[in-house]
C-alpha cells in the first residue's frame, strides 16, 4: 500500500510514523522542506512540491491532508488539483469546519476526484500508535480506503458515520464535549485545592483512577501533571484553543441542543486568558499531556 501525505506537524508526523511502522509506502510533503528531510530519515519518500508528490504516486492516488483548517486546506487542494486525475482520493484528516468539507466534497466530485473528511482524535499518542477516526463521505469511497483507516486507527477505532461533512461534524461535537470534561476536572481539582484539608492532589487523582466513576485518560493525564508539580506553579492558568469549541456550540444551538456545559467551558477558556486560575492550569497541563499543546510557563519556572 502507498499513500501521499501532506502536513508534517505534530499530528501529521506521528500519523506518518504510524504508517511507516506498518510498512506503508508514504510519500510526504510539507511546506517547510526541513520537515520533509526529517521524515525521510524515518523512511518516508520525500516530496518537496505538490507536483512531485503526485508524480511519485501511482494512480489512483490517495492523498491525506493534515494541515491547518480553513484557507490552508483550500490552498493545498488548489496546488494539488492540476496534478490529480479522475478516481484519485483526497482525505482531509484535520479539524476542518464540516460545511467547508461539504463544499470541498461537492467541488471535487464534480471533477471526478473523491473526497473524505476524517475527524482524528486521540492526541499525539493516538496519531502515533492508533487514532480514533470518524469518517464522512460516500460509503463506496470509504470502502475503497477502509484498509488505510484500519491501519491508522486503534482496534475498533474507526467508523463511517455519514455523508460528506459528517466525519468533521462528529469531531467538532467531540471537541466541544472535551471542553466540558476538561473544565469539570479543572474546577474539581480547584475545589480540592481550596478545601479546608491539606489534600494530596496527586494521591486523590491516583485513587480515583482505580474504580471511581470519573476515571479516564484525561484524569490520568491530570494525575501525571500533578505528580510533577502538585500546585502547578510552573504554569499560567491560560488555556489556548477555542475555534472548534465555538463551532460546536454554534452547531448544537442551531440544532436546538442546549450544550450549556460546553458553552460555560468555552467561556471559562476566555476567562483564563484574562486572569490566572487553578482550573486553567489543570486544563492547560492536561492539554499539553495529550496533544503537546503549548502552555505558558511562569518566568523562572521549568
- The per-residue DSSP string of 116-129 comes to EEEEEESHHHHHHH
Say how many C-beta atoms besides its own lie within 10 A of residue 74's C-beta. 15
Q: Which of 144, 155, 178, 238 is catalytic?
A: 178
> pTM to 2 decimals?
0.88
What pLDDT, on a 0 to 100 scale, did the predictor assign at position 124? 94
Closest CA to 65 of 20, 23, 117, 25: 117
User: 44-48, 54-58, 79-83, 261-265 — which is least confidently predicted?
Assistant: 261-265
Instruction: Locate 290 and state its grid cell.
Output: 495529550
What pLDDT, on a 0 to 100 scale, did the predictor assign at position 297? 81
Q: Is the dihedral of CA 108, 113, 119, 121 positive or negative?
A: negative
Q: Say how far apart CA 274 and CA 90 lie, in whole Å.
A: 40
Q: Say how far apart CA 108 and CA 111 lie, in whole Å.
A: 5
What pLDDT, on a 0 to 100 scale, did the predictor assign at position 294? 84
Is residue 41 annotated as part of the catalytic site, yes or no? no
Q: Say how far apart CA 298 and CA 277 lie, in whole Å.
A: 13
Q: Mean of the pLDDT values across residues 44-72?
A: 97
Give all strands of the β-sheet with 131-136 in edge-to-edge order: 45-46, 25-29, 2-6, 62-65, 89-92, 114-121, 131-136, 153-162
The chain-wide mean pLDDT, for the chain, equals 95
pLDDT single digits (tens) 120-151: 999 999 999 999 999 999 999 999 999 999 99
Pairing of strands 2-6, 25-29: parallel
Q: How confident is the model at residue 293 (pLDDT cuts 50, 70, 90)?
A: confident
Say how many C-beta atoms besides its own lie within 10 A of residue 31's C-beta. 16
Q: If you write DSSP's letter for every residue of 168-191 in order, what string do you get?
A: HHHHHHHHHHHHHHHHHHHHHHHH
- Which residues have a Cβ under 8 Å from the Cβ of 113 and sit 6 or more positions away? 81, 84, 86, 87, 88, 89, 90
Q: Which of 171, 187, 236, 281 is catalytic?
A: 171
**Structural domains of the chain, with CATH:** 2-162 (3.40.50.720), 170-291 (1.10.1040.10)
DSSP β-bridge partners for residue 159: 134
Say how many C-beta atoms besides its own lie within 10 A of residue 62's C-beta. 20
Distances 182 to 6, 46, 176, 216, 274 between C-alpha atoms, Å:
30, 38, 10, 11, 18
Interhelix angle 201-208/217-228, nearest 10 degrees: 160
Is residue 171 annotated as part of the catalytic site, yes or no? yes
Amino acid at each position: 500500500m502507498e499513500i501521499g501525505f501532506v502536513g508534517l506537524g505534530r499530528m501529521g508526523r506521528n500519523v506518518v510514523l504510524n504508517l511507516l511502522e506498518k510498512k506503508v509506502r508514504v510519500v510526504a510533503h510539507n511546506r517547510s522542506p526541513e520537515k520533509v528531510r526529517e521524515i525521510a530519515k524515518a523512511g518516508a519518500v520525500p516530496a518537496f512540491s505538490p507536483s512531485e508528490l503526485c508524480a511519485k504516486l501511482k494512480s489512483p492516488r490517495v492523498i491525506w491532508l493534515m494541515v491547518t483548517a480553513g484557507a490552508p486546506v483550500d490552498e493545498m487542494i488548489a496546488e494539488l488539483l492540476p496534478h490529480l486525475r479522475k478516481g484519485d482520493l483526497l482525505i482531509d484528516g484535520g479539524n476542518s469546519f464540516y460545511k467547508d468539507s461539504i463544499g470541498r466534497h461537492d467541488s471535487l466530485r464534480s471533477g471526478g476526484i473523491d473526497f473524505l473528511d476524517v475527524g482524528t482524535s486521540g492526541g499525539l499518542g493516538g496519531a502515533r500508535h492508533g487514532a480514533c477516526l470518524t469518517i464522512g463521505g460516500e460509503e463506496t469511497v470509504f470502502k475503497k480506503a477502509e484498509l488505510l483507516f484500519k491501519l491508522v486507527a486503534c482496534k475498533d477505532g474507526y467508523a463511517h458515520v455519514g455523508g460528506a461533512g459528517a466525519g468533521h461534524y462528529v469531531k467538532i461535537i467531540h471537541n466541544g464535549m472535551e471542553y466540558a470534561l476538561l473544565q469539570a476536572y479543572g474546577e474539581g481539582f480547584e475545589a480540592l485545592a481550596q478545601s479546608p484539608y491539606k489534600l494530596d492532589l496527586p494521591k486523590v487523582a491516583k485513587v480515583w483512577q482505580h474504580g471511581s466513576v470519573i476515571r479516564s485518560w484525561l484524569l490520568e493525564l491530570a494525575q501525571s501533571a500533578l505528580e510533577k508539580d502538585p500546585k502547578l506553579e510552573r504554569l499560567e492558568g491560560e488555556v489556548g484553543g477555542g475555534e472548534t469549541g465555538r463551532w460546536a456550540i454554534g452547531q448544537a444551538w442551531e440544532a436546538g441542543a442546549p450544550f450549556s456545559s460546553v458553552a460555560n467551558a468555552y467561556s471559562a477558556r476566555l476567562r483564563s486568558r484574562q486572569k490566572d486560575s487553578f482550573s486553567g492550569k489543570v486544563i492547560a497541563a492536561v492539554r499539553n499531556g495529550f496533544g503537546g499543546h503549548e502552555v505558558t510557563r511562569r518566568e523562572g519556572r521549568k
